[in-house]
Amino acid sequence: MDDYLAGFTELFSRYDVVGAFWVNIQLTFWAGLIALAVGTLLALMRISPVASLRLTGTSYVTIFRNTPLTIIITFMVLVVWTQLTVTLAPDFNANFFWLAVVGLAVYHAAFVCEAIRSGVNTVPVGQAEAARAIGLPFLAAARLVILPQAFRGSVAPLGNTLIALLKNSTVAAAGSVATETASTMKVMIEFSPNHLYAIFFIFAMGYVILVIPIGLATTWLSDRLAVKR
């Protein structure tokens, strides 16, 4: 037992497990910001009075929600970088990191859009009608009246999307991001299979520790920001 514990401790001294989780947190942070911006734009397109914009927004959401994330990440590497020679960073490893960020953002923007659109559905129709009645154009009405209330109503689904993004950030391993948790865990298991269950437990608990605070925070915010009817 002492030999097992000693070997396990030595294993974690050789591999930067905390650093691997930090990479996934950074992937989640940057992809989340981009997905929020793109998702908000898509939500505006989906509620736009312009039919072509609604069609474009709906098509984006339909396509990317039904495309496996692994395919998108692989596309970023094999097509965007290899074939189109698009480089997002001068450093080799940083380039793969940002390719993964864009892939994650493109995929989750569709879910952010639907989360915000669900919040739009909580805004009373009379609010939009009142905005039009005082002469506000669509963008102004959306910015000043609809979206502020929609964001308050979409905190919970946005929190769920953030949790999904954090867990899905492990798919970055398919995009050659070699220092994140999935890649690190794979290498550790490959070279120390006798510690398989302990390694799995550590990484599983790491995600539990990251996910639970997000769930608690979004639940608290959702209750606090809920519009009283």
The stretch 144-173 carries a mean pLDDT of 88
Residue 148: per-residue pLDDT? 84
CA distance linking residue 151 with residue 117, whole number of Å: 9
Angstrom distance (rounded) from CA 96 to CA 87: 9
Could you report the per-residue pLDDT of 137-148, keeping only the tens digit for each? 877 888 888 888
Mean of pLDDT values over 71-97: 88
pTM confidence score: 0.89
Which among 18-22, 36-40, 87-91 has the top mean pLDDT? Answer: 36-40
pLDDT score, position 6: 64
Alpha-carbon span 47 to 113, nearest angstrom:
11
How far is residue 54's CA from residue 42's CA, in Å, rounded to a whole number?
Answer: 9
Distance between CA atoms of 127 and 111, rounded to whole angstroms?
A: 25
pLDDT confidence of residue 140? 80
Q: Which residue has the higher pLDDT, 96 or 128?
A: 96
| Tokens standing for residue 145 | 């009246």
Listed residue (200, 194, 197, 187) closest to 7, CA to CA: 194
Tell me the per-residue pLDDT of 88-126, one tens digit each, with 9 for 90 and over: 888 878 888 999 999 999 999 999 999 998 888 877 777
- Section 160-177 average pLDDT: 89
Contact 96, 77 (CB under 8 A): yes
Determine the average pLDDT of the residues in 162-186. 86
Domain ranges of the chain: 17-225
Over residues 189-211, the pLDDT tens digits come to 888 777 788 888 888 899 999 99
Superfamily grouping for domain 17-225: MetI-like (1.10.3720.10)
pLDDT number for residue 220: 87
